Amino acid sequence: MRKEQLARRLAKESGISTAAAADQLDRIISDILERVRKGESAALPGFGTFKPGRSTQFQFDASQPLERVRGATGKTPR
């Protein structure tokens, strides 16, 4: 799935604009990359964990089952 497709889907399900959804995706990706570059893991509950690897590579552990990432309120976490 491409970023544009993911942003459109997030926008539709969250009731926000596609531009706002794309901005949120950019922030999430930026936060993940920042943590991995610092040597820390970054988890997305219900999706998987990004772990630092050798040099500029990183590992993605998708051992968690894929499910909707929503809290008890039904809202997508920020």
* Residue 1 pLDDT > 90: no
Domains within the chain, CATH numbers bracketed = 3-61 (4.10.520.10)
Segment 16-61, tens digit of pLDDT: 999 999 999 999 999 999 999 899 999 988 888 988 887 555 566 6
Q: Flag whether pLDDT at 66 surpasses 90.
A: no
Strand order in the sheet with 48-52: 42-44, 48-52, 58-61
What percentage of the chain's residues is helix, strand, coil (to nearest 5)?
A: 40, 15, 45
Token pair of 72 as six digits: 């008890």
pTM of the model: 0.63
Averaged pLDDT for residues 54-78: 52
**Which DSSP category does 61 fall into?**
E
